Structure 1
Amino acid sequence: MNNTYAASEPKRAEIDFLRGVTLLEFGASWCGYCRAAQPLIASALSERPAIRHIKVEDGKGRPLGRSFRVTLWPTLIFLKDGKEIARLVRPADAAVISEALDRVSGTV
């Protein structure tokens, strides 16, 4: 699990060309909802070390978040080969995150 929101975001084309399973997380370090979700995300990812986790600091005018139409934090976007398979906004349960990871990984 990546513990720090990246201040510099990747380009959308880079995300679209990723191979395999990726969890793309949008949020901010000062966001209470984001901080509350961190242990849930960590728990869900702990059994899936092969899943790429990209944390992007989001905010007004940030192109990557806007390209995914992110409006609330944290927003978790589950990608397979660069394509969005699932999305969770402000998850409150690690099991829901695990289910989405299983779905995108094809283990369900």
Structure 2
Amino acid sequence: MNPTYAPTEPPRAEVDAYSGPTVLDFGTNWCGWCSNAQPMIAAALEAHPGLRYLKVEDGPGRPLGRSFRVKLWPTLVFLKDGREVARVVRPSRVEELHEALAKITDAVRA
């Protein structure tokens, strides 16, 4: 798991074309909420080593975050084949993340 939010982001058309499960984690490296959530996010993702997980730096003028209507950090968007299936904003319990992950990983097996 990458410890920092990437300053570059893929275009929305590329994200929409992803196949399989993907988690987009929107935040910033200086955000306290984001830093506090990282151990919980890492714990939830531990059981899904092959999952596409992108940490995307967000803020004003960032088109990808705006296209997903991100308002608070961190916001995790769970995608299946480029479509949003679940969203967790400022996770407070690892169970929230497990529930969202189950929605995209179960969809893979179906």
Deviations along 1:3-34, one digit per CA (max 9) or x if unpaired, are 22110111000100001100000000100000
C-alpha displacement of 1:61? 1.2
**Whole-Å separation in 2 of the counterparts to 1:63 and 1:80:** 20
Match of 2:81 in 1: 81
* Equivalent position of 1:31 in the other structure: 31
Shift of 1:104: 1.4
Match of 1:68 in 2: 68
Number of residue pairs matched by the alignment: 107
Report the residue type matching 1:8 in the other structure. Answer: T
Q: Identity of aligned pairs, percent?
A: 59
Does 2:100 match 1:103? Answer: no
Aligned-partner SS, 2:66: helix
Gaps of 5+ in 2: none
SS of the equivalent of 2:22 reads strand
Partner of 1:94: 94
Q: Which amino acid aligns with 1:37?
A: A
TM-score if structure 1 supplies the norm length? 0.95
Unaligned runs of 5+ in 1: none
For normalisation by structure 2, the TM-score amounts to 0.94
> Which amino acid in structure 2 is aligned with residue 21 of structure 1?
P
Residue 40 of structure 2: aligned partner: 40
Q: Which whole-Å deviations, capped at 9, do the CAs of 1:76-102 have from their partners, x for residues lacking one? A: 000000000000100011111011101
Q: CA RMSD in A?
A: 1.0
Distance in 2 (alpha carbons) for counterparts of 1:65 and 1:23: 13
